[in-house]
Amino acid sequence: MSDKPEAKAKEAAAAPAAPEKGAAAPADAAAPAAAPAKAKGGALKVWLPAILAIVVAPAACWAVAEFVLLPRLQQKLAAPPAEAAEAAHGAAAEKSHGEKKKGHGGKEEGGGEGGDTYAFTNVVVNLSGTMGTRYLKTSFVVTGLKPDTIKSAFDDNKDKLTDVTLGVLSSLSLSDLEEPGAKNVLREKLVTAYNQALGSRVAEQVYFSDFVVQ
């Protein structure tokens, strides 16, 4: 009888403890549960840029159209009327300026070829003191003091005034022409000589278009 209890005690000591095997089971079950959670997190990171692009792209397109494209289109549509108004204003100002310049009979006042002028073209004279080795070639117009006077007065006295012109120019020396302001002095001499020859103040100014010393 005493041998049976000892044999049962040995069997009980040799048998593995049941609670320890049961405690290890929950830890093994938690490992498979963590794997799907990690898989879901990785998939979210992959699709996040695409989701943001789908959401943000329409908003960006609307902002560009509203604040960039639409204001530019409105400016272009409004520009032609403004430019047309400016052009009309410029044309009106130019017309007004042209009317102010016109005098009696619709002719422009003042010097130049459009007014009352008389032209001397390609006048050539020998310079004084050069023994015929140096000469002056010039072209110029004479403007009148009053409208419609200078041309008729010079046409009526053409030969006389041509001689006066040659006399004034040929009296010049090379040193006279090298002086500062020589052309202004010559203008005054010609105007004075013309008015003296005509017996009244008809000529007002002389404008040179060609002036060559050789």
Per-chain mean pLDDT for the chain: 73
Q: pLDDT at residue 109 above 50?
A: no
Name the most confidently modeled range: 26-30, 71-75, 131-135, 168-172.
Answer: 168-172
Name the most confidently modeled range: 13-22, 55-64, 162-171.
Answer: 162-171
**Which tokens is 69 given?**
């494209």
> Among 58-72, 77-91, 135-149, where is mean pLDDT lowest?
77-91
pLDDT in the model for residue 87: 52
pLDDT in the model for residue 35: 58
Across 35-43, average pLDDT: 60
Percent helix, percent strand, percent coil in the chain, to nearest 5: 65, 15, 20
DSSP 93-116: HHHHHHHHHB-GGGPBPSSSTTSS
Q: Is 167 left (phi over 0), alpha (psi -120 to 50) or beta?
A: alpha
| Confidence at 212, pLDDT banded by 50, 70, 90 | very high
Q: Please write the tens of the pLDDT for every residue from 143-159.
A: 998 888 899 999 999 99
Q: Please write the tens of the pLDDT for every residue from 93-108.
A: 554 444 444 433 333 3
**Which tokens is 88 given?**
């009309």
The superfamily CATH assigns to domain 117-213 is Band 7 domain (3.30.479.30)
pLDDT in the model for residue 110: 38
